[in-house]
Amino acid sequence: MANNINDLTADFPVLDQQVNGERLAYLDNAATAQKPKQVVDTLVHFYEHDNANVHRGVHTLAERATAEYEEARKKVQHFINAADNKEIIFTKGCTDGLNLVASTYGEQNIHEGDEIVISIMEHHSNLIPWQQLAIKKHAVLKYIELTPEGTLDMDDAKKKITDKTKIVAVAHASNVLGVVNPIKELAKLAHEHGAVFVGDGAQSVPHMPVDVQDLDVDFYAFSGHKMMGPTGIGVLYGKADLLRQMPPYQYGGEMISSVHRDRTEFADIPFKFEAGTQSIAGAIALGTAVDYLEKVGMENVVAKEQELVDYVLPKLEALPYVTVYGPQDPKKHTGVIAFNMDNLHPHDVATALDAEGVAVRAGHHCAQPLMEALGVSATSRASFYFYNTKEDADQLIKAIKATKEFFNGGTI
Ligand SMILES: Cc1ncc(COP(=O)(O)O)c(C=O)c1O
């Protein structure tokens, strides 16, 4: 592994290329992160040497694949400090994990008149499953609103979470506003009212140390691909006693203890929730991504991203034609920076930035109710990861200035 956090191009060959004749500045990490060679090598090695299905074979390859798959589960367990590796369920991704909880725990525990509390900044993955559950069960879905600064309004949270609340589901970090939400406090609040707390860790696990026991979350979902693992693999953490009480999510192979003509006994967790053949290579390569992050050190990931935000945010805010959403203070802002340029559509901005080699995202970022609350239909979004550099930040600012000049016919 390259040992200089400011130059990791040896591990990320994808970053070392030209796009539209310019050096690539990849700033779409909130959508998906790039994969280090180590993760790609793990996939290649698995398929070239160990490929077999897990848990069901006694031959050598099956035993090797099973051992690697279960080792990956332990790596994830330690990474988020879960009490037991049985609490780590491999899923397709964060969306899949959140749907699992809504379809099983939610289906079992939400009744007419119950309340589910989420926040207005949720990604659709942590919004629609609860909205649809509420519709189906004639329950009430409530939203915690924002402060004028663009952070979660905790006074509103205290009003919205009541004894009628059965589930509170909130993102640990926003994919638009660049804020980290106080989910430990929210989980405590939920528990005081007898509700469970579901954390969406899609934008937090890749970027900061996460300790599910310290946070005391009941469920916590995240995606492998945003933390440099492959697509198609994710994790749902759940407290063992809750998981054991929940019905299965899907039925099929692997999730049973015994099947009879008229009944089935299900396997213990986590297998009860892993029906069918999982992304075996994906899980093992996710384990390699965890190894990589642990070698870098999550404290160093936090420090490097903070350094980049400290550097780029004031430069962006200083441009009079740019509006940045979320807190303006870099110390309160993660590497996710949503912005708009006056009188320019975000899609035009993203296309113009791409012409300068800068990859950003434009759109509603799967957060349409948040866009409505912000009074916009879309934004551009630059999102940094620890392998980004100040050169990437400079290229972004330069490209934004060039875009302004281009659309203004030469005047900034
Ligand atoms: C906050 C948040 N939650 C959930 C998701 C969904 O992740 P996935 O599409 O990998 O399931 C995303 C993806 O952008 C996200 O940013």
Report which of residues 407 and 321 the model is more confident about.
321
| Minimum CA distance residue for ligand 1 atom 7 | 94
Same structural domain, 284 and 308: no
Q: Is 94 a catalytic residue?
A: no
Residue 11 maps to a domain: no
The single residue listed with the structure tokens 């998906």 is 32
Residue 199 maps to a domain: yes
Amino acid at the residue 136: K
* Domain boundary pick from 294, 328, 344: 294
Amino acid at the residue 78: H
Task: Using alpha carbons, select from 207, 291, 151, 285 the residue that is nearest to residue 29.
Answer: 207
The Cβ-side half-sphere exposure at 262, using a 13 Å CA radius, reads 0
The pLDDT, as a whole number, for residue 3 is 73
Residue 4 maps to a domain: no
- Say if ligand 1 is within 6 A of residue 370 CB: no
Same structural domain, 258 and 395: no
Q: Residue 322: CB partners within 8 Å, gap ≥ 6?
A: 316, 339, 340, 341, 342, 400
The pLDDT, as a whole number, for residue 344 is 97
Residue 399 φ/ψ, nearest 5 degrees = -70, -35
Residue 14 maps to a domain: no
HEC string for 106-125: HHHHCCCCCEEEEECCCCHH
Mean pLDDT across 199-227: 98
Same structural domain, 211 and 145: yes
Same structural domain, 312 and 402: yes
- H/E stretch holding 190 reads helix 183-192
CATH of the domain at 86: 3.40.640.10
Same structural domain, 290 and 255: yes
Q: Residue 407: CB partners within 8 Å, gap ≥ 6?
A: 343, 344, 348, 352
Encoding tokens for residue 174? 């926003």
Residue 166 maps to a domain: yes
> ∠ CA(351), CA(354), CA(355), 5° rounding?
95
Q: Residue 129: CB partners within 8 Å, gap ≥ 6?
A: 98, 99, 101, 102, 103, 106
Residue 20 maps to a domain: no
Find out whether 56 and 62 touch, Cβ atoms under 8 Å.
yes
Residue 137 has pLDDT above 90, yes or no: yes
Task: Using alpha carbons, select from 400, 409, 411, 396 the residue that is nearest to residue 28.
Answer: 396
Mean pLDDT across 101-106: 98
Length of the chain: 412
Task: For residue 409, name the pLDDT band (cuts at 50, 70, 90).
Answer: low
Q: Please pick, among 366, 393, 399, 400, the residue that the annotation labels catalytic.
A: 366
- Say if ligand 1 is within 6 A of residue 181 CB: no
* Domain boundary pick from 269, 294, 319: 294
Same structural domain, 82 and 116: yes
- H/E stretch holding 89 reads strand 88-91
Ligand 1, closest atom to CA 31? 14
Task: Using alpha carbons, select from 374, 363, 359 the residue that is nearest to residue 326.
Answer: 374
CA 410 to ligand 1 centroid distance, Å: 38
Task: For residue 385, name the pLDDT band (cuts at 50, 70, 90).
Answer: very high
Find out whether 326 and 338 touch, Cβ atoms under 8 Å.
yes
| 326 CB burial (10 A radius; 0-12, 13-18, 19+) | buried
The pLDDT, as a whole number, for residue 30 is 98
CA 405 to ligand 1 centroid distance, Å: 34
The rounded distance, in Å, linking the Cα atoms of 37 and 291 is 13
Residue 336 maps to a domain: yes
Find out whether 176 and 357 touch, Cβ atoms under 8 Å.
no
Please state, rounded to an integer, the average pLDDT across all residues of the chain. Answer: 97
Same structural domain, 113 and 94: yes
Same structural domain, 355 and 248: no
Same structural domain, 158 and 239: yes
Task: For residue 292, name the pLDDT band (cuts at 50, 70, 90).
Answer: very high
Task: Using alpha carbons, select from 121, 293, 287 the residue that is nearest to residue 207.
Answer: 293
The rounded distance, in Å, linking the Cα atoms of 223 and 47 is 22
What pTM did the predictor assign? 0.97
Same structural domain, 330 and 289: no
CATH of the domain at 392: 3.90.1150.10
Residue 412 has pLDDT above 70, yes or no: no
* Domain boundary pick from 294, 329, 364: 294
The pLDDT, as a whole number, for residue 56 is 81
Mean pLDDT across 96-107: 98
pLDDT in tens, 224-270: 999 999 999 999 999 999 999 999 999 999 999 999 999 999 999 99
Task: Using alpha carbons, select from 207, 228, 285, 244 the residue that is nearest to residue 84.
Answer: 244
**DSSP secondary structure code for residue 329 in this structure:** S
- Say if ligand 1 is within 6 A of residue 94 CB: yes
- Say if ligand 1 is within 6 A of residue 203 CB: yes
Same structural domain, 303 and 273: no
Residue 101 has pLDDT above 70, yes or no: yes
Instruction: Give the percent of the chain with pLDDT over 70.
Output: 99
Instruction: Give the percent of the chain with pLDDT over 90.
Output: 96
Same structural domain, 303 and 158: no
Residue 15 maps to a domain: no
Which range of residues forms the domain containing residue 195? 41-294
- Say if ligand 1 is within 6 A of residue 95 CB: yes
The pLDDT, as a whole number, for residue 6 is 85
The pLDDT, as a whole number, for residue 411 is 52
Task: Using alpha carbons, select from 349, 286, 331, 326 the residue that is nearest to residue 91.
Answer: 286
The pLDDT, as a whole number, for residue 98 is 99
Q: Which of 90, 94, 177, 368 to mutate for ligand 1's pocket (most ligand atoms within 8 Å of CB)? A: 94
Mean pLDDT across 16-40: 98
The pLDDT, as a whole number, for residue 9 is 85
Q: For the chain, how many structural domains are there in total?
A: 2
